[in-house]
Chains A and B, each alone.
Chain A
């Protein structure tokens, strides 16, 4: 059983399109996150959700909108995709705000052409 699963694993799309990445965790964790890893391999936090409430929203364009229908899901919707959005996006989850570590998904490689 995959603890944190993301779909799709790969996503190739044209500029201007709207796309979503889904994330589900079966660990019963109370906090979920989205991270972006760019071409230089820098990992940056984008969003953090605790029990369906947004608690962190870093300097991310408002074209990116996280949606959490329940505690086990945190989807990432991206409007009007741009070339610079090409990256690997990682979903993660944790209990107790990550004191005992995060569990990451395997990533979604987004390529905007």
Chain B
């Protein structure tokens, strides 16, 4: 059970912001939201994680709604190399040694 719902695919123009949504309506107070991505033929790559505050790092921003039932991963200026499957994962901090991946969103960045 991935406990998250993501659209199966999205498109984004190169240079534009890519906003990837994730619904996690059954999230509990102690569960974090993690984002990973998998570029074709490579292993998954950690992007960012958060609990309730918005987070930003060199790769992306994570916006979590106040009720925490959904979140959005933002790639501010998408490039062709951002084409990948993006996974949103909800997990207890004490269970992070057992990541469960769902089906993810396939993001296609086009020129």
Chains A and B bind each other: yes
Q: Contacts A50-B97, A99-B96 known; A90 to B43 CB distance under 8 Å? A: yes
Instruction: Say yes or no: is B98 at the interface (Cβ < 8 Å to chain A).
Output: yes
Contact B98 A92 (CB under 8 A): no
Interface residues of B toward A: which range?
A: 20 to 34
> Is B21 located at the chain interface by the 8 A CB criterion?
no
Complex Cα gap A104–B45 (Å):
7
What chain B residues lie within 8 Å of A100 (beta carbons)? 46, 49
Point out which of B41, B43, B44, B96 has the most chain A C-beta atoms below 10 A from its C-beta: B43
9 contacts between A and B (CB under 8 A): A31-B97, A33-B97, A42-B101, A43-B44, A56-B97, A94-B96, A104-B45, A105-B43, A107-B42
Which B residues form the contact surface with A (CB < 8 A)? Answer: 34, 36, 38, 41-46, 49, 85, 87, 93-94, 96-101, 103
